[in-house]
Amino acid sequence: MSQRMRLTGSMVALVTPFADGKVDYDALGRLIEFQIAGGTQGLVPCGTTGESPTLDYAEHDKVIEFTVERAAGRVPVIAGTGSNSTAEALTLTRHAKACGADACLIVNPYYNKPTQHGMFDHVARIAEIGLPIVLYNIPSRCGVALTAETIAKMYEKIEMVIAVKEATGSLDVSSEIAASCDITILSGDDSLTLPICAVGGSGAISVLANILPAEVRKLCDYIAACDMAEACTLHLKLFPLVRGLFVETNPIPIKAALAMAGMIRDELRPPLTPLSAQHRPPLAAMLKSFGVQVQA
């Protein structure tokens, strides 16, 4: 078996900025530069945080193309190309490979709730395209979860499977995966990055990194250096803001935070709506406490 691609450290689940209903590529370009300057080690467009369910096919493809072009090889791009339709996931993944993405993020097929065998077959067929795969295990969004046994089987039998974004919210699942195989485990929950890495994880695909890339990178660096005292101190400092970024459905609060910082418009695709008024003052106060320049 050839050497698998290795993804570690701080990666960002990029928002997709909009302006007047269209993707705002000027703002997206600024966000990408902000991420790279802040030390982010991987860009993940068109995932949950990127509002992939409401991007049309042309937008989805163009956002990935744009991210690859703007990154220009400085950091890897892990393109969200999953779907509940295997045929659709194949089409999206072929395009991501063709435009130069380094890997793809494949969410569990949602709504139709396939069996473990069905999900294995889904991933195996996508793997034939030849683009490294990061599994995305998020049952709260999908209604179905990959078991640790299935993840280990995928890692053993499908060479293109290189990592799993673990977003079940369960440390037991992370521990079971780590005990079952050597797959790279990436935290998909900012509040659990430190705990997941403590039981075998190797980094995060972070929502928080959209607004505080340097802080998330610092946390991942502390963890990689096994400096758990500093990592715990930073984790606890960040924790209230992490909670604040999930008071409503992601990416509603993180888009509000980026808009407060003047980086994007506070615009989402329906049926998502902007952050409720009562949550704005505490979020602004927490951002200010981290030195974010909040606009009036």
Active site residues: 136, 165
Buried b / exposed e along 199-218 (16+ C-beta atoms within 10 A): bbbbbbbbbbbbbbbbbbbb
Q: In whole angstroms, what is the distance from residue 260 CA to residue 264 CA?
A: 8
Helices 86-98 and 116-127, packing angle to 10 deg:
30
User: Rounded to 5 degrees, what are φ and ψ at 5?
Assistant: -60, 140
Evaluate whether 219 touches 200 at the Cβ level (below 8 Å). no
The whole-angstrom separation of Cα 123 and Cα 238 is 35
List the beta bridge partners of residue 22: 19
**Taking the mean position of all CA atoms in its chain, how far away is CA 233?**
24
- d(CA 240, CA 44) in angstroms, rounded, equals 24
- What is the rounded radius of gyration, in angstroms, for the C-alpha atoms of the chain? 18
* Contact criterion met (CB below 8 Å) for 13 and 205: yes
Angle between helices 148-157 and 171-180 (to 10 degrees): 30
